[in-house]
């Protein structure tokens, strides 16, 4: 999948969002992806809605840094976030509790 494929995947995330899981949540997730699949994406969750925008946020609640290829593997269910984190392929900064809630917001992205 090309870098534009990563962008298309992030653009499609709002349609896969389960609003009921985000009741009372207001958060900004920053994805900082390196390599051929690289790019920066912001995932905004507020008022049980979700939107994605490109670029860097000045003060995200959670920052997730990894290779774009690893991000796609996680999003497609070929790699778990936990295994990526434990192996050092995923670096996190900020609210770890919010980071762990991502799978609740997008349950169809869990590994099969």
- What tens digit of pLDDT does each residue of 16-55 get? 999 999 999 999 999 999 998 889 999 999 999 999 999 9
Query: Do 62 and 29 form a contact (C-beta atoms < 8 A)?
Result: yes
Alpha-helical regions (H) of 1-112:
3-12, 68-75, 81-86, 96-100, 102-105
Q: Domains of the chain (ranges plus CATH)? A: 3-105 (3.30.1050.10)
> Residue 8's pLDDT band (boundaries 50, 70, 90)?
confident
pTM: 0.88
In angstroms, the Cα distances linking 105 to 3, 17, 35, 44, 89 are 24, 6, 26, 12, 22
């Amino acid at each position: 999948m090309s870098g534009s494929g990563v962008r298309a995947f992030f653009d499609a995330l709002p349609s896969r969002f389960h609003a009921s899981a985000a009741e009372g949540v207001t958060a900004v997730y920053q994805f900082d992806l390196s390599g051929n699949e690289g790019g920066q994406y912001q995932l905004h969750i507020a008022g049980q809605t979700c939107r994605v925008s490109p670029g860097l946020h000045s003060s995200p609640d959670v920052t997730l840094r990894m290779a774009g290829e690893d991000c796609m593997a996680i999003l497609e269910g070929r790699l778990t976030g936990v295994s990526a984190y434990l192996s050092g392929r995923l670096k996190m900064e900020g609210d770890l509790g919010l980071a762990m809630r991502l799978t609740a917001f997008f349950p169809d992205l869990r590994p099969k």
